[in-house]
Amino acid sequence: MHLTDPFVRQAQAKGYRSRAAFKLLGIHERDRLIRPGMVVVDLGSAPGSWSQVVRELLTVKGPEGKGRQVKGRIIALDLLPMEPIADVDFIEGDFREDAVAQQLSDRLSGEQVDIVLSDMAPNLSGVESADAARVMHVCELALEFSAQHLKPEGALLVKTFQGSGYSQLVERFKQQFSSVAARKPPASRAQSSETFLLGRRLKAGKRP
């Protein structure tokens, strides 16, 4: 399956670190999420394919003789190490720990964020109720971070899974965002329960 997967082959051809790049590209093509000048936070970034895509989308033609340059900021975070990517500010640590979340806040230096991306997925045990709780916890952390740091018109995109706890997560998104949509990009395998929730524009009481 892996060797015949067209997205795996395309990722190799384009130099992306994983096929997950095409999940973000598929959602971006529909929703136009990322534009030059934005501040983007990439949670659960390793091995780095989403950060690679963001960097491409923030790249503009520079002044004459300067070539192309990144306009905006990318801050990435993961529990696992990540090979460096030019123009990406990486923090290695567990986002569930207050000290690591504080590091991320410190890097922002009070700057508000245009979009938070979360491809985080906890290690799954195969026990549905326990796994649902882990997924919900990770998404809740992304929601809390977004409430603290997003611009009023900002957006949050998280990976989650259909099943136990999903409808409650959708409700949490609706409490926090004016617009909420589920996305299943072409690169997300049809047989997988994986889905992505996109929240846009913080409701008035949820703004930093």
Token code pair at residue 150: 């997003």
pLDDT at residue 1 is higher than 50: no
Residues 158 and 136: beta-carbon distance below 8 Å: no
Helix spans in 5-77 (H): 6-14, 21-31, 49-58
* Domain span including residue 143: 19-206
Residue 151 in any domain: the answer is yes
Residue range 15-26: mean pLDDT, rounded: 95
pLDDT at residue 2 is higher than 70: no
Residue 34 in any domain: the answer is yes
One-letter amino acid for residue 189 of the chain:
R
Q: What is the Cα–Cα distance from 145 to 95, expressed in whole angstroms?
A: 10
Q: What is the DSSP string of 55-72?
A: HHHHEEE-STTS-EEE-S
Q: What is the pLDDT of residues 176-189, one digit of tens each?
A: 999 999 999 999 98
What total of structural domains would you count in the chain?
Answer: 1
Residue 13 in any domain: the answer is no
Token code pair at residue 165: 């706890």
Q: What is the pLDDT of residues 77-108, one digit of tens each?
A: 999 999 999 999 999 998 888 899 899 999 99
The band of 132, judged by pLDDT with boundaries at 50, 70 and 90, is confident
pLDDT for the residue 137: 87
Residues 22 and 10: beta-carbon distance below 8 Å: yes
Catalytic residue among 71, 159, 174, 184: 159
- 159 catalytic, yes or no? yes
Residue 7 in any domain: the answer is no
Q: What is the pLDDT of residues 27-77, one digit of tens each?
A: 999 999 999 999 999 999 999 999 999 999 999 987 776 788 999 999 999
Residue 8 in any domain: the answer is no
Residue 14 in any domain: the answer is no
Residues 183 and 196: beta-carbon distance below 8 Å: yes
Longest dimension (CA), the chain: 57
CATH, residue 97: 3.40.50.150
pLDDT at residue 163 is higher than 70: yes
Residue 1 in any domain: the answer is no
**Continuous segment of H or E residues that includes residue 34:** none
Residue 121 in any domain: the answer is yes
Q: What pairs with residue 58 in β-bridges? A: none
